[in-house]
Amino acid sequence: MDMNGKQHDIASPHDFPGIQARAAQTDAAGRIPSQNWKELAESGYQGLFHPPEVGGTAAGPTVQAEAMEALARACPSTFWAATVSALLCGKLISTYGDLREHERLLRPLVSGESLSCFAVAETTAGSDAGTYRTTVRPAGTPGGGYLIQGEKSRIANAPCADLAVTLARREKLPGDDGPDWCLAFVNLRQPGVQRYEIPHMGLRGMPWGGIVFDDAHVAEADVVPVPFEELAEGMAWGWLLVSISAVAVAESALAASVRHARERVSFGRPLAHMEGVQAQIADSRAQIDAARLLAHRAAGERAAGRSARDLIAMLKIYATEMAVEVTTRAVQIHGATGVTQGHEVERLYRDAQMNVIGGFTTNRLRELVAEGMGLGPAVYEPFDWVTPTGLGRDPAGLDGFAHLARAVS
């Protein structure tokens, strides 16, 4: 039920039984089955995040969070691919674009008819946007729009997406004092675009790879200048979906651990009767519930229109690293079975690792949280250690350190 009392169909972890039944197959094949996409479109999942004006159902924050966790419980790979497109890319388009102009891009994402990717990271850079080189420039002909040049790599949905919401530099004409950065909404089904896949450890079913733009065309209306400092607020949607993915992965690993502890008998008693195993399971239960509460609070803040960037940053740090701890415990509880290829716990352990890195690395988010506490930007600045000591003032014209070494000897 949403904030207006309207009932929605998706709210239970059991709403995607078909997708859940195919999760192991999805991981083993490295592909999301077409049936998954069909079932998602029929469920209305992608529409939960958007208003009726663009074909959505405007679900409340609790329904959204529960639906995301339900899908991520069923299949983390399918969750990532669908939610990056519908939530992250959809919100970036609706927040920074013009709804009247970009409804044509948003509606297919909301209905599940098309798939989008958020093209940010590049081959030589991950979280450091200052090193990105992908550039948008005017085509140079009347009404010609823009051309985009560059390469984006390690991007969810890149190998098969229809649309790329792309962070790029702007090549500005004289007199243009607008932002140096933009979001370019690029049609990936056109000349000048090449894609490739990258094999990956976890979330194997999720399409992952790179995009090479070689003067691909972008309509003038689809290049939206955005001040870089504002983008973090929009990108926080991605941190939220990754965090909920982590909570779901941890919950699945805990459920598998409880089942195994009840069924497995060792040294004359069930594992569930062993104090060490009980402690691991209890720790996991407490951590997962804490992360879920924080996730629901962050979703509520966002739905109320308040900035939740720092809150979501803290959530991603805690939830993703928590999931690694929980899945590690699950492997220990299962023993050799837990590291057997094809076992649910082995798959979840790999998926948990991807969430720590994906969206924005937790180490970088720690720096952002510290900056928000008034500790200043985490940027290196040269510091002169010598001059304040007086070592640089040598009347003989010798180097300060050489002079000191001679005096000591």
Burial class (CB in 10 A: 0-12, 13-18, 19+), 241: buried
Q: Which domains does the chain have, with CATH numbers?
A: 17-114 (1.10.540.10), 118-226 (2.40.110.10), 229-375 (1.20.140.10)
Question: For the ranges 32-46, 336-350, 351-365, which has the lowest average pLDDT?
Answer: 351-365
**CA end-to-end distance (rounded Å), the chain:** 80
CA distance 148 to 150: 7
CA distance 221 to 145: 8
Q: Please compute the mean of the pLDDT values over residues 165-186 and round it to a whole number.
A: 92
Q: What pLDDT was estimated at residue 62?
A: 92
Extract the tokens encoding 268. 């004359």
Q: What pLDDT was estimated at residue 374?
A: 80
Per-residue b or e along 67-81, where b marks 16 or more CB atoms closer than 10 Å to that residue's CB: bbbbbbbbbbbbbbb
Binning pLDDT at 50, 70 and 90, where does residue 309 land? confident
Question: For the ranges 10-24, 125-139, 374-388, which has the lowest average pLDDT?
Answer: 374-388
Return the higher-pLDDT residue of 404 and 276: 276
Extract the tokens encoding 254. 């805990």
Please choose, from the candidates 333, 319, 206, 195, the residue with its C-alpha nearest in 3D space to the C-alpha of residue 259: 333
CA distance 242 to 296: 13
Binning pLDDT at 50, 70 and 90, where does residue 378 land? low
CA dist list (Å): 249 to 85, 173, 219, 340: 20, 48, 40, 18
CA distance 62 to 303: 10
Q: Given a cut of 60, is residue 407 above it in pLDDT? A: no
- Which range has highest mean pLDDT (5-19, 268-282, 310-324)? 310-324
Binning pLDDT at 50, 70 and 90, where does residue 409 land? low
Q: Given a cut of 80, is residue 178 above it in pLDDT? A: yes
Q: Please compute the mean of the pLDDT values over residues 23-31 and round it to a whole number.
A: 96
Q: What pLDDT was estimated at residue 376?
A: 73
Q: Given a cut of 50, is residue 317 above it in pLDDT? A: yes
> What is the CA 369 to chain-centroid distance, rounded?
17
> Nearest-5° angle of CA 209, CA 323, CA 297?
100
Q: What pLDDT was estimated at residue 50?
A: 95
Question: For the ranges 43-57, 100-114, 117-131, 169-183, which has the lowest average pLDDT?
Answer: 117-131
Extract the tokens encoding 222. 């689809």
Quick count: other Cβ atoms within 10 Å of Cβ 264?
16
Q: Please compute the mean of the pLDDT values over residues 323-338 and round it to a whole number.
A: 95
Please choose, from the candidates 189, 117, 181, 126, the residue with its C-alpha nearest in 3D space to the C-alpha of residue 155: 117
Binning pLDDT at 50, 70 and 90, where does residue 405 land? low
The enclosing H or E element of 18 equals helix 17-21
Binning pLDDT at 50, 70 and 90, where does residue 403 land? low
Q: Please compute the mean of the pLDDT values over residues 259-275 and round it to a whole number.
A: 88
Q: What pLDDT was estimated at residue 305?
A: 80
